[in-house]
Amino acid sequence: MHFKNQTGENDMQGLESITACCNAHACPILPAELLSKHTTFRIGGACQAMVQIANREGLQAILQCCQEQHLPWVVLGNGSNILAADEGYHGIVLQLGRAFSNVRQLDETTLFCEAGATLSAVGKIALEACLTGMECLAGIPGTIGGAVYMNAGAYGGEMKDVVRSVEYLDETGAFRTATPEELQFSYRHSMFSGTKKIVTGVTLQLQAGKYADIREEMQKLKNQRVAKQPLELPSAGSTFKRPVGSYASFLIDQCGLKGASVGDAQVSVKHAGFVVNTGHATCRDVLELCDFVIETVKEKTGYCLELEPVILK
């Protein structure tokens, strides 16, 4: 569901209706909330309002209210794969966070995770239950819902390897369940990509393992991340998708672009696949730098790089 922006009096009426709906369903609302406070890039202006979804009924009611008031909306998880515009977002940002972060074990090898649960939290619970399969995903700084949306992956594993089913809210406001066959997983893509369907819960199929082995693998991958990735600086993770036949970081490094910068946006000197915020980078800085990287790599290698983060504007 996409809606045209409203201005002036209609804006105020729409926000008043959303506020009343939020109050009725115990969902906190933050008017004019800065997106820079909710994205790992630490970039982005204010949204019209941010709603912290507290329950399934509240989610349904608030979406219906947005539709009735012709207010655009978007769902935000941990903000780890988002580049928000300097001008902000003229609409309602729905955050599935702490209230949507429960994880429970269904049987010996299956976990049900609400969409707001972080991958790190799910990884810890899997470890404690001696379940293997989450080791390569647990270090990704996102939520389980966001990870399903983009079929997140790292170190040879992807969400598609462990997802048994996904609960979601469709465009009509009805809760549905999708099987692995219906999820259409591919590289950084799922059936949810580019749609207004909202992931609300994920059932993971893991395997029994040994606590010591799982912990050792998680620590090994954590050490690799710390050693190779610029985790000390704000970013949106890997900035470019992997092109067929090569790796973005290799191509960027090959073109001598490590350290290239626009304002406070910089191609990391530690890992060329990351664009980082070294201070007060703007969205405009990041996009200008990414355009320069894409043009240079295309000119020198023939490869066409694509941005991985979602641009929120």
The residues annotated with a catalytic role in the active site are: 188, 238, 308
DSSP helix/strand/coil, 115 = coil
Helix axes 56-68, 9-24, angle to 10 degrees: 160
Q: If DSSP codes are grouped into helix, strand and coil, which group holds residue 16?
A: helix
The sign of the dihedral angle between the CA atoms of 198, 45, 154, 112 is negative
Please name every residue paired with 165 in a beta bridge, in sequence order, or none if there are none.
203
The alpha-helical segments, DSSP class H, found in the chain are 9-24, 56-68, 119-128, 144-149, 211-228, 248-254, 283-301
| 233 in Cβ contact with 203 (< 8 Å) | no
Q: What is the dihedral of CA 278, 282, 285, 289, to 10 degrees?
A: 60
- Largest Cα separation within the chain, whole Å, is 61
* Token duo for residue 260: 């290239």
